[in-house]
Amino acid sequence: MDTAKLAVERLWKIYTGEKGREVVAIQDLSLAVYANEFVSLVGPSGCGKSTLLMMAAGLEPISAGDIVCDGKPVTGPGRDRGMVFQSYTLFPWLSVAENIRFALKKSKLTRPAQDALVAEHVRLVGLEGFEQAQPNQLSGGMRQRAAIARALVYKPQMLLMDEPFGALDAQTRLQMQELLLQVWQAQRTTVLFVTHDVEEAILLSDRIYVMTARPGRIKCEVRVDLPRPRNLLDTESQPQFAALRRQVLGLIREEAKA
Amino acid sequence: MTSDAVSRQPERPQLRKAPVRLLELRADLPRRWYVTVGVGFISLFLIAWIGVTAAQWVVPLFLPSPAAVLAELGSQVQDGTLWLDLWASVYRISVGWLVSTVLALPIGILMGNFQFFEGLFEPFVDLLRYMPAVAFVPLTILWLGVGDTQKFAILFIGIFFQEVLLIMDNVKNVPHDLIQVSYTFGLSKWEVLRSVILPAAMPGIWDTFRITLGWAWTYLVVAELVAANVGLGYRIMRAQRFLETDQIILGILVIGVLGLITDMFFKWSYRRLFPWVSKR
């Protein structure tokens, strides 16, 4: 296998709480995400999976160890890594199109080229007709579609997603998983995806890292060999899906008990 | 597969009228009712005022009739005192409030964004903001004389220290995720401040403007209590000396109406400037 797109090497995150009490959030953790791979990170709540993602985004300082993206050590946020948050992060004073264009502020492309990129990504996430809508006129699912378009529009090397569908209702969640499958199948962007939803992780991923309870380490790596292209109905009805679900749920349950 | 009920086009039945419930917890009140009760209450208040004075239950010196207050308004409009007072007070308020705001805005923004500046200024501001502005009247006269500068100073002391903390909070209320996502687009911290934090904090800051301008009317009267020879507050104080209660009530009402107008202006412009803020 070629070199990793994102390599996390012997990573530590230690918080110093009140009265100097130390909390080890992540302990000596290593993982790798290869080019065009969709990798999920699952684990019991509080295991540090979101913290890991924030460090990969360069938004949280690293206590020890390294995160390397495309051969360059991560020292801060950068346009090589796009991020989608769980909370709604559209700028409420901008329309959908203006929000997506905002991510191109640092782009050297001409205005017409930017327009074309924005239009292309509006189409990609199925928001045609809503270009001029304000975020507060949109449903939660549509806001996350726009946020995904905004994170992809400047063509980052990889996408970091922190429970992007966690705040959505069950129906919308399923729709968004289908949408992300289609987008990913079309673009093959490298993705590191944090979720607590095991079925979501299996449906979307090539590999799943299961984390331990705090202090967070990699408990186990699960390869998802379900055929692609996938879709919700067919993929989830395969016996292999049920077996994987059972395996991963079991691993997490061991941790939740511990 | 679809059942009969879905495929046939049903006849639209007679619709039930939704009953108007005036006192339901958290329920919407029809607009018509909302306005009616509000206007009604003010009318009731006026009627009570007219009734009490017309029936002569109280001595006119204690509570003059609305007619007497209106007559006072008429004479002040005619001899021009009202306009002179109005101009003097509006000028003092505008300058006093603008000076406070022009200083509070950048300092509040710095304090909200950088803990360094919060640490630098907050203890000082906290100390000063509990000092009563009224008590500064004799000192400001001593320092600045009896001119308009002294009035600006009282307005400044009353407004600035509170305003700076309110603006700091407006800035701090900008969701952290909005800032973080902007960094992922490659923006520098100054670009994030200008393109994200300021537009996001602006509605809150606009509300702070509305609130602090409201306080300015209170501090105006305080500033004009002593050592003034024109102004709405001065008119009230002079009337007190001669027990001209109709003038006092007129002065209070004029200030009330002016305060209401500025408040309405800020609420109106808020809706025009920030249509994207979802209410409730």
What is the DSSP track for A90-156? S-TTS-HHHHHHHTTTT----HHHHHHHHHHHHHHTT-TT-TT--GGGS-HHHHHHHHHHHHHTT--
| pLDDT above 70 for B93 | yes
Do residue B277 and residue A134 have CB atoms under 8 angstroms apart? no
Own/partner pairs, B98-102, CB within 8 angstroms, 24+ separation: B99/B152, B99/B156, B100/B155, B100/B156, B100/B159, B100/B160, B100/B163, B100/B212, B101/B159, B101/B163, B101/B209, B101/B212
Nearest to B166 by CA among B206, B218, B199: B206
Do residue B184 and residue A79 have CB atoms under 8 angstroms apart? yes
Interface test with A, best of B181, B195, B279 (most A CBs within 10 A): B181
Could you read off the pLDDT of B146-182 as tens digits, one per residue? 899 999 999 999 999 999 999 999 999 999 999 999 9
* Interface membership of B197 toward A (CB under 8 Å): no
Question: A161: part of which helix (H) or strand (E)?
Answer: strand A158-162
Do residue B181 and residue A135 have CB atoms under 8 angstroms apart? no
Do residue A93 and residue B278 have CB atoms under 8 angstroms apart? no
> Residue A84: CB partners within 8 Å, gap ≥ 6?
A144, A147, A148, A151, A159, A160, A161, A162, A164
Nearest to B220 by CA among B85, B77, B127, B101: B85
The fraction of chain A above a pLDDT of 70, given in percent, is 99
pLDDT of residue B5: 65
* Interface membership of B181 toward A (CB under 8 Å): yes
Distance of CA A170 to CAs A116, A134, A174, A198, A230, Å? Answer: 33, 24, 6, 14, 19
Mean pLDDT of A11-40: 92
> Residue B99: CB partners within 8 Å, gap ≥ 6?
B152, B156
Report the gap between the CA of B186 and the closest CA in chain A (Å): 5
**Alpha-carbon span B25 to A140, nearest angstrom:** 28
Q: At what angle do helices B148-172 and B115-129 cross, to 10 degrees?
A: 140
pLDDT of residue B4: 67
* Interface membership of B190 toward A (CB under 8 Å): no
**Alpha-carbon span A200 to A52, nearest angstrom:** 19
How do strand A6-16 and strand A64-69 relate by DSSP bridges? antiparallel
Residues from chain A contacting residue B180 (CB–CB below 8 Å): 57, 59, 77, 83, 85, 89
Question: Cα-atom radius of gyration of chain B, to the nearest Å?
Answer: 26
Do residue B184 and residue A87 have CB atoms under 8 angstroms apart? no
Distance of CA A19 to CAs A16, A214, A227, B86, Å? Answer: 8, 20, 52, 58
> Residue A133: CB partners within 8 Å, gap ≥ 6?
A95, A96
* Interface membership of B177 toward A (CB under 8 Å): yes
pLDDT of residue A214: 85
The fraction of chain B above a pLDDT of 90, given in percent, is 73
pLDDT band at residue B280 using 50, 70 and 90 as cut-offs: very low
**Alpha-carbon span A79 to A62, nearest angstrom:** 19
Nearest to A8 by CA among A209, A228, A256, A231: A209
Mean pLDDT of A198-223: 94
- Output the CA torsion sign for A179, A183, A188, A194: negative
* Interface membership of B191 toward A (CB under 8 Å): yes
* Interface membership of A87 toward B (CB under 8 Å): yes
* Interface membership of B19 toward A (CB under 8 Å): no
Do residue A106 and residue B276 have CB atoms under 8 angstroms apart? no
**Alpha-carbon span B251 to B73, nearest angstrom:** 9
**Alpha-carbon span B273 to B202, nearest angstrom:** 9
- Asked if B167 contacts B208 with a C-beta cutoff of 8 angstroms, the reply is yes
* Cα atoms in the Cβ-side hemisphere of radius 13 Å centred on A230: 25
Residues 100-129 of B with CB under 8 A from A: none
DSSP B174: S
Q: What are phi and psi of B249, to 5 degrees?
A: -65, -40
pLDDT band at residue A2 using 50, 70 and 90 as cut-offs: low
Q: Find the distance separating the first CA and the last CA of chain A, reported in whole Å.
A: 35
DSSP B185: T
pTM here?
A: 0.88
Residues from chain A contacting residue B279 (CB–CB below 8 Å): none
Q: Tell me the three state secondary structure of residue B125.
A: helix
* Cα atoms in the Cβ-side hemisphere of radius 13 Å centred on A78: 14
Mean pLDDT of A179-208: 94
Could you read off the pLDDT of B205-260 as tens digits, one per residue? 999 999 999 999 889 888 887 778 899 999 998 998 898 999 999 999 999 999 99
Do residue A79 and residue B186 have CB atoms under 8 angstroms apart? yes
- Asked if A105 contacts A91 with a C-beta cutoff of 8 angstroms, the reply is no
* Interface membership of A59 toward B (CB under 8 Å): yes
pLDDT of residue A45: 84
Report the gap between the CA of A31 and the closest CA in chain B (Å): 22
How do strand A207-211 and strand A218-223 relate by DSSP bridges? antiparallel
Could you read off the pLDDT of A28-72 as tens digits, one per residue? 999 999 999 999 999 888 888 999 999 999 999 999 999 999 989
Q: What are phi and psi of B62, to 5 degrees?
A: -75, -40
pLDDT of residue B279: 59
Residues from chain B contacting residue A82 (CB–CB below 8 Å): 184
**Alpha-carbon span B99 to B102, nearest angstrom:** 5
pLDDT of residue A116: 95
Q: Which of these ranges, A107-111, B1-5, B58-62, B120-124, has the smallest mean pLDDT?
A: B1-5
**Alpha-carbon span A102 to B185, nearest angstrom:** 8
Here the tokens at position A30 are 């290593």
Q: What is the DSSP string of B129-143?
A: HTS-GGGGHHHHHHH
The fraction of chain B above a pLDDT of 70, given in percent, is 98
Instruction: Label residue A87 exposed, middle or buried (CB < 10 Å: 0-12, 13-18, 19+).
Output: middle
Here the tokens at position B237 are 């104080």
Candidate from B175, B185, B191 with C-beta closest to A154: B185
* Interface membership of A241 toward B (CB under 8 Å): no
Q: What are phi and psi of A73, to 5 degrees?
A: -65, 140
Q: What angle do CA A148, A153, A156 make, to 5 degrees?
A: 90
